[in-house]
A and B are shown apart, each in its own frame.
Chain A
Amino acid sequence: MTADNTGSIPADVASAAAALRGSAAEARAGGTDLMARVREGVAGAPFVDLFRVGALRGVEWRSAGSARIGALTTVAEIAADARLRAAYPALAATAAAVATPQIRSVGTLGGNLLQRNRCPYFRSAAFGCLQKGGDSCPARAGDHLHGTVVEQGAECAAPHPSSLAMALLAYDGASVEVEGAAPRAVADLYDGADSTRDHVLEAGGLLTAVVLPVPAESESAAYRRATSRSHGEWPLVEAVARVVRTDGAVTRAAVAAGAVARTPIRLPEVEQAIIGARNPREAAAAVAGVPAMCSPLPQTGYKAPLLRDTVRDALERALA
């Protein structure tokens, strides 16, 4: 192709949305997930490139002190933005732990929320699976060491890959904006019972921004992930904890976890149990019921205690 072929790349939101609407094209932002799938032979052109749509990039602060983050804002920008770090420490800490520096500097918020799962059966052209129009899940019958441990009604055993979605889930009232449609809660971007896709944004839809609620005052937060290696590895389990303390005692808490279910999950039982806590040592008791919420697959039994203990670790750090 010649240079002319780039002429059709949209430069504003309306034309990007128009290019996607009714088309089979996949939106391409940083490309870190999509291009890997192209390489593996499970995705391909056409694409609608978004890099020229400058309006989708950056953080906008609203008068009430809340942030609206454009979908093309990179993960690195979220991790590094001083005001975001102060206002939304759980989100910023999660962003800082995603992937590697080169991926964070290119990968975007929208791409992170809408990325596809990491199941090797899904990502290999050698296998069919429910996400590719097949009628069974080869991971269930095969290797699912990194599979789900919390049942949501899907046959697909691939955990949701988005760490940022998990972090956003920990903010009540956080929503995503979709061009030409009503904003929706972050949780409504996903359906844990659906084995055919990793998000339920309508085909041809354009996610434009994430809107966060007004920051909590004097919040402390922590993000933790369990991995084999020290860096650059998808989590076995990840968790984020936000706590607000009044006179030293927890009065509000939000706890979310990832890599355990078809969608990121909230853990309301743990949130309830940690209310009133004054000391990190109280986290252990608050998470004691977590394994009972799990229904492991044959190879994911380890994730039940690991979910408990990763959440505990995040809570302890948030309370420290």
Chain B
Amino acid sequence: MNPRLVPLIILAIVCTGCPATLTPTTMTAQSPALDRRGTTDVLVTVFGATDISKTKPIHLTDDGYGQALRDSLEQSRLFRRALSDSVGQYQLQATVIHLDEDIFGINMTASIAVTYVLARTAPKELIWEKTVTTSHTSGMSDSVIQITRLQRATEGAVRKNIEQAIQGIAQFKLE
């Protein structure tokens, strides 16, 4: 191989990198926790994350987003438990409807829009519905690797989104 190609290959790797899938841990929001834990359970389901991100450089999955949302809810103490596969007194559904990730640039920005619906299961009642849009920008101080900056940006946008959703849910007195 031509030795002059080596710096170009290294530069290309630094500038682009490989697609990555976000893990729940890095998307979990750190919201202020209530003094007393809630007494009800919530079933959490996520749609659209896998589908909408499959053509993006940074991938989300429904399972990963769901786990991050459940972990964030557990940490906030709004509910006794956040469930993935059994029925609770409440049901929270999150549908990812928009995801935008920068491809070029020094500062990388990601934005995400998620529609949240919270309902009581018995009696059936819609409690809260809102589309939350958030964005986050990562700069060179986060990483010199472009794909890592974009990963940090997407993680930040998701964390902010979940934080705002939890703030929205926290307005209600959940029995």
Partners in one complex: no
